Amino acid sequence: MEAPSTSIVIPTRDRPEALDACLVALAGQSLSPERFEVVVVDDGGSAVLEDVVDRHSGSLRLTLSRRPHAGPAAARNAGVKLARGRVLAFTDDDCLPEPDWLAAIATAVERAPESIVGGRTENALASNRCSEASQSVIAFMYAEELRRTGELPFVTSNNLGIGRELFDALGGFDASFPEAAAEDRDLSARCKARGGSLVYESAAVVRHAHPLDLRSLLRQYVAYGRGARLLSRSRREGPAAPGTRSPAFYAGMLVEPYRRHSPGRATVVASLIALTQVGTAIGYASGNRPRAATDPGQKPRPEPDRPA
């Protein structure tokens, strides 16, 4: 069988139901199934994933890899080691790519091989205000930087495309980022430092089904704050501390929900957005957890397990 031209890499940990829904969405891609593969990396989870993967083995070219828990950055690098495509597409297990997502990502990467491509990510849980607030922060940052500079501020790892050659040249994701926080900003910053750009592809749509409540929303943004602190210490990006943007930027972030929702709903979402910024500040001020261990002899890309 001919090697696929595009590889999708998905890190996962103890979310088999979400992974199943993600694989259903990938099986519905408009790109011919012979042209892509899916590499799922179990990042030290306890859930049994063989049944989930087996359900989709007839419609997808699937590889399941298992490794000790080391964080999503290390898991993605492990997946790339097993991938065969010249185009790499990354999404997460709680994401539902729209049918044309992969075709749009692959085309954009082929068109701009020295760039990282970011697609449009939408909240899939319309009734969950916390999930909406979280996604609104990222959407606002994307929109403001596109308006100001014409490219993205960074590319989130749940909707990211990159050429294999560029990924290897950058050294992959930095596995010393132990959480799902700022490892994508770090990769983006290294791409820009190399002279590349961060390209937005609006046709590459992913729906993010990440249920959040007040506690998990705050915890998520505290982790983002810790990631920002680690990123600022790496000196790969400019000021990463909360509050380093202009007051107008934060005001715009809080006002934006009123352009899309009724006043009552907008007030709730804006209040939750304010909470995310408090969480980021707390995380930044509290410092970082110990860095994740990397495999000996290779940094940042660890050696993967063998495919299942």
Query: Could you tell me the pLDDT band of residue 2, with boundaries at 50, 70 and 90?
Result: confident
Is 212:134 a contact under the CB 8 Å cutoff?
yes
Instruction: With beta carbons less than 8 A apart as the criterion, state whether 94 and 210 touch.
Output: yes
Q: In which band, very low, low, confident or very high, does the pLDDT at 39 lie, cut at 50, 70 and 90? A: very high
Q: Indicate if the alpha-carbon torsion angle 161, 196, 122, 179 is positive or negative.
A: positive
Q: What is the pLDDT of residue 303?
A: 34
Residue type, 259: R
Judged by average pLDDT, the poorest of 29-33, 115-119, 232-236 is 232-236
**The two structure tokens encoding residue 74:** 């290390």
The least confident of 38-47, 88-97, 222-231 is 222-231
**Average pLDDT in the chain:** 90
Terminus-to-terminus CA distance in the chain, angstroms?
19
Split at pLDDT 50, 70, 90, the class of 231 is confident
The pLDDT value recorded for residue 232 is 83
Cα separation, 106 vs 110, in Å, equals: 6
- With a cut of 80, say whether residue 296 has pLDDT above it: no
Show me where the domains of the chain are located. 6-286
- Helix ranges (H only) for the chain are 16-27, 50-56, 72-82, 101-111, 129-149, 164-170, 183-193, 214-234, 247-255, 263-286
pLDDT tens-digit series, residues 188-207: 999 999 999 999 999 999 99
| pLDDT band at 291; cut points 50, 70, 90 | very low
| ∠ CA 216-218-222, rounded to 5° | 115
pLDDT digits (tens, 9 = 90+) for 70-107: 999 999 999 999 999 999 999 999 999 999 999 999 99
User: What CATH number should be reported for the domain whose range is 6-286?
Assistant: 3.90.550.10
Q: Give residue 168's pLDDT.
A: 97
Using a pLDDT cut of 90, give the percent of the chain over it.
82
Kindly give the interhelix angle for 247-255 and 263-286, rounded to the nearest 10 degrees: 140
pTM: 0.90
147: Cα separation from own chain's centroid: 22
